[in-house]
Amino acid sequence: MSFFSRPSSSAVKIVAPSASHSEPSSPKAPRKDSTQRQCRNILIYGSCKFQDKGCIYYHPPRDSSSPVPPDSPTPSAALPAQAVNAPVFVPKNPASPVPAPAVASTSHVPTFTPSAASPEYHYDETDTYDPQGPMSDANVDQEALDNLAEHFQALDPSVNMNPYDQMGDMDYDAAMDPFYQSQSAFTRQPLNYHLYTHPRPEALQQRYFISDNVREELQRRSEALYASPAPGLNLPEETQGYHSLMPLESTAGERRKFGNWYSAVYKAVNSQDGVAYALRRIENYRLNSQAAFSSIESWARIKHPSLISVKEAFTTRAFNDNSLVVVYDYHPNAETMFEAHIKAKAPQFQNGRLQAQSNRIPERTLWSYIIQIASAIKTVHDAGLAVRVVDPTKVLVTGKNRVRISSCGIVDVLMYEARQDIAMLQQEDLVMFGRLILSLCCSNLGAVNNPQKSLENVGRNYPQEIRNIIVYLMQKPNPLKTIRQVCDMTKSQMLQELDESLNAADRLEGELMSELENGRLVRLLCKFGFIDERPEFARDPRWSETGDRYIVKLFRDYVFHQVDQNGQPVVNLSHVLTCLNKLDAGVDERIMLVSRDEQSCLVVSYREIKSCMESAFSELSGR
Ligand SMILES: Nc1ncnc2c1ncn2[C@@H]1O[C@H](COP(=O)(O)OP(=O)(O)OP(=O)(O)O)[C@@H](O)[C@H]1O
């Protein structure tokens, strides 16, 4: 049977789900008299608004303290699997106090009602599975079947055979039996926010996921984040609560000094918060005064998007020497500006020829770098500190056009005893900043050794404003030379920078939109995986082809294992996402689930399936 086609017969056989491992069928249980059964509206809401309008269930006297009739089983909020067969009383016409004849004569047949009725659709634990229950063949007379079949044909929202149906697009009133259209109480509900994804045409289905280049970039970062160190590095297992140390640079070969010291950078995981950090270690450093760490506290308070945040500093002997370690935020896959823009790149094949790679930075990128670094320096100077290292090897490129100054605070500790004037140090920052821009413009660290020639070079490739900024920054220190002035000199570019960063944020939001569904849908899929067809419970009649699990299994087939009219598998992601969204939202829309042997079918709402899934999952996790 194709799920996409309507039932070929107007009469749909409704039988209990076949249970491959079920026990031999028990003798027929006596039918329950619906008039003796407790009205669930009383149980849930304390009253039934249809009590005087023809509701056929038991209503205790209004002043009765106990709403449960003496012969009623104890009610409970739990939803048993067989509850999907439980009848609901909803008057077909509120104007008429007498139930419609079909309902009156077949009180055990559930009425297929629009979702407005479903808030009052409820179950109690006492609903035991009854093979002769209200949905069984024996209890369903022909009139009821005809009635049911009419509903299948008329109620598209209730029996959704079409995966392209969307909640937002459904015209309930038009699709429903005209009988319901007169019900003024039936109001259209706003779209449930859980259903925000509308199915897309198949050709655009990849838009459910972020674009490949963003994914690739994030994937590489994640890989770097979780990379583990090669064995035999002879690094400490742990130091001051940081473990899994992994060097971020090669320590073999010739090493440059950080001032007078050798340094090394490691990625390490903090055992308290499980987050990876970058540890910069200064080798063979002897701390003379604890007060040297005072500036680290000031640095830890400064937060700026273009500064790598400082977390803490400590000394350790874990590396078999006296080491100073300053801990920074870790930015996976970061490159130094030197590596990204100055270091000569290997030639690449282009148009069949090996060609040298240009390191020239586009003007727009350069402006972006200047604005970001100027803004970071301004924040530091405003806090009464100096950066002290504005160098192509200490400014990191952490993403597309994103730069951050690293190694903040470390020189303050190392040079604590020198106690230099902060205004002087800030002037030095500006000179270092000028040199950095000059090196970037010329793609050459040595450019600062011949500023005159290098500036001519800058004038040829970049606008006069950039040249002016470099000249201003590199001139002799004077009290009027401030980072604020530099910011003023960049203001013609600030608006464009702002626009571009807003565009970038919008683009990323757009990417996020396409991933929005995935987190919760993965959780749902995990639950399916946990529940369906557990081999260890295969012989447990409560955990096999019956009850809640059976419904979950049939739903899984409905979502994933549909076939078209020719028996070919239907692989339709839109259908899957729509169904899972509706399941997650627990909407009242009903669908027909058909057993694999096509001998049984159940009409259940997403709300009921959700409830079955929740109870099966909580039972499983509570075992
Ligand atoms: N906070 C950080 N997050 C991620 N990676 C970092 C961080 N700090 C430094 N790195 C990386 O560690 C590596 C080494 O950094 P370092 O500052 O020592 O650069 P370097 O070019 O080796 O400079 P030097 O020659 O002065 O040692 C660089 O590749 C850099 O990208």
All domains of the chain in start order, with CATH: 34-197+519-622 (1.10.287.3700), 215-345+356-514 (1.10.510.10)
Residue nearest to atom 22 of ligand 1 (CA): 249
Contact between 602 and 84 under an 8 Å Cβ cutoff? The reply is: yes
549 neighbors 531 (Cβ within 8 angstroms)? yes
Does the annotation place 394 within a ligand binding site? yes
Cα distance between residue 595 and residue 557, in whole Å? 9
CA 613 to CA 550: how far, in whole Å? 10
Task: Quote the CA–CA distance of 290 and 284 in Å, as a whole number.
Answer: 17
Portion of the chain with pLDDT greater than 70, in percent? 67
Sheet holding 402-405, edge to edge: 335-336, 395-399, 402-405
Q: Which residues have C-beta within 8 Å of that of residue 621, sequence separation ≥ 6?
A: none
Q: CA 201, CA 360: separation in Å to the nearest integer?
A: 43
CA distance 475 to 462: 20
- The overall average pLDDT reported for the chain is 75
User: So what's the ipTM on this one?
Assistant: 0.97
Most confident of 25-34, 204-213, 253-262: 253-262
Distance 224 CA to ligand 1 centre (A): 14
Kindly give the number of the ligand 1 atom that is closest to the alpha carbon of 328.
Answer: 1
Q: Output the CA 310–ligand 1 centroid distance in Å.
A: 15
Cβ atoms < 10 Å from Cβ of 160: 22
Q: How far apart are CA 470 and CA 369, in angstroms?
A: 13
| Residue of 245, 248, 279 best suited for mutating to test ligand 1, as the one with most atoms within 8 Å of CB | 248
The two three-digit tokens of residue 528, written as one number: 């399916």
- State yes or no: pLDDT of 364 exceeds 60: yes
Single-letter code of the amino acid located at 572: N
If you measure from the C-alpha of residue 369 to the centroid of ligand 1, how many angstroms do you get, rounded to a whole number? 18
Whose alpha carbon is nearest atom 11 of ligand 1?
Answer: 248
Name which of 530, 532, 613 is nearest 579 in CA terms.
Answer: 613
| Dist. CA 147 → ligand 1 center (Å) | 75
Whether residue 160 is annotated as binding a ligand: the answer is no
Residue whose CA lies nearest to ligand 1 atom number 4: 331
C-alpha of residue 262 to centroid of ligand 1, in Å: 13
What's the confidence (pLDDT) of residue 19? Answer: 40
Structure-model confidence comparison of residues 154 and 489, the more confident one? 489
Q: Which atom of ligand 1 lies nearest, measured to the CA of 338?
A: 21
Q: Is 561 annotated as ligand-binding?
A: no
Q: Ligand 1: which residue has its CA nearest to atom 25?
A: 256
**Residues 6+ positions from 518 with CB-CB distance below 8 Å:** 208, 209
d(CA 572, CA 184) in angstroms, rounded, equals 37
Cβ pair 268, 326 in contact under 8 A: no
The CA distance from 179 to 151, in Å, is 11
Q: What is the C-alpha separation between 476 and 200, in angstroms, rounded?
A: 62
Other Cβ atoms less than 10 A from the Cβ of 449: the count is 9
Angle between helices 606-622 and 547-560 (to 10 degrees): 120
Shortest-distance Cα residue to atom 29 of ligand 1: 335
Q: Where does 255-333 have alpha helices with state H?
A: 294-301
Structure tokens at 320: 């078999």
Give yes or no for residue 169 having a pLDDT over 60.
no
Distance 327 CA to ligand 1 centre (A): 13
| pLDDT higher than threshold 80 for residue 112 | no
pLDDT at 212: 80
The secondary structure of 123-178, three-state, reads: CCCCCCCCCCCCCCHHHCCHHHHHHHHHHHHHCCCCCCCCCCCCCCCCCHHHHCCH
Q: Which residue carries 């020639």 as its tokens?
A: 453
Predicted structure pTM score? 0.62
Please compute the mean of the pLDDT values over residues 492-507 and round it to a whole number.
94
> Using one digit for the tens of pLDDT, what is the confidence trace for 395-414?
999 999 999 999 999 999 99
- Amino acid letter for position 293: F
Name the β-bridge partners of 404. Answer: 396
Residue bearing the CA closest to ligand 1, atom 24 = 256
Contact predicate 264/251, CB 8 Å: yes
Across 137-146, 325-334, 564-573, 601-610, which has the greatest mean pLDDT?
A: 325-334
**Residue 330 CA: which ligand 1 atom is closest?**
3
* Model pLDDT, residue 534: 77
Ligand 1, pocket residues at CB < 6 Å: 248-249, 256, 258, 263, 265, 278, 308, 328-331, 334-336, 338, 393-394, 396, 406
Contacts of 355 (CB under 8 A, 6+ apart): 347, 348, 349
Alpha helices by DSSP H, 161-285: 172-175, 178-181, 212-226
Average of pLDDT values for 18-32?
A: 40
> Atom 20, ligand 1: which residue's CA is nearest?
393
Write the DSSP assignment of 298-318 as a string of letters: HHHH---TTBPPEEEEEEE-T
Which of 435, 428, 358, 346 has the alpha carbon at shortest distance from 387? 428
Per the annotation, does 333 bind a ligand?
Answer: yes
Q: 259 C-alpha to center of ligand 1: Å?
A: 15
Q: What is the pLDDT of residues 277-336, one digit of tens each?
A: 999 999 999 888 889 999 999 999 999 999 999 999 999 999 999 999 999 999 999 999
Determine if residue 465 is labeled as part of a ligand binding site: no
Q: Is the pLDDT of residue 85 over 50?
A: no
- Using most ligand atoms within 8 A of CB, pick from 222, 242, 246, 249 the residue to mutate for ligand 1: 249
Mean pLDDT in residue range 199-216: 68
CA 261 – ligand 1 centroid, Å: 15
H or E element at residue 497: helix 491-515
Nearest ligand 1 atom to the CA of 404 is: 1
Q: What pLDDT is recorded for position 354?
A: 83
Confidence of residue 559 (pLDDT cuts 50, 70, 90): very high
Atom number of ligand 1 nearest to Cα 334: 31
In this structure, is the dihedral angle defined by the CA atoms of residues 155, 85, 147 and 26, taken in order, positive or negative? positive
Which ligand 1 atom lies nearest to the CA of residue 335? 31
How many CB atoms within 10 Å of residue 235? 17
Return the residue matching tokens 């270690």.
Answer: 281
User: pLDDT band at 201, cuts 50/70/90?
Assistant: low
Q: Which residue, 419, 425, 327, is CA-closest to 384? A: 425
Residues 6+ away with beta carbon under 8 Å from 40: 57, 75, 120, 122, 123, 124
Q: Is 330 annotated among the ligand-binding residues?
A: yes
- Cα angle 233, 235, 241; round to 5: 145
Q: Label residue 76 by pLDDT band (50, 70, 90).
A: very low
Cα(248) to centroid of ligand 1, in Å? 7
Element (H, E) at 348: strand 348-350
| C-alpha–C-alpha distance, residues 441 and 455, integer Å | 9
Ligand 1, atom 1, lies closest to the CA of 330
Find all residues with CB under 8 Å of 387, minimum gap 6, and list them.
376, 377, 380, 405, 408, 429, 432
Kindly give the distance from the C-alpha atom of residue 530 to the centroid of ligand 1, in angstroms, as a whole number: 44
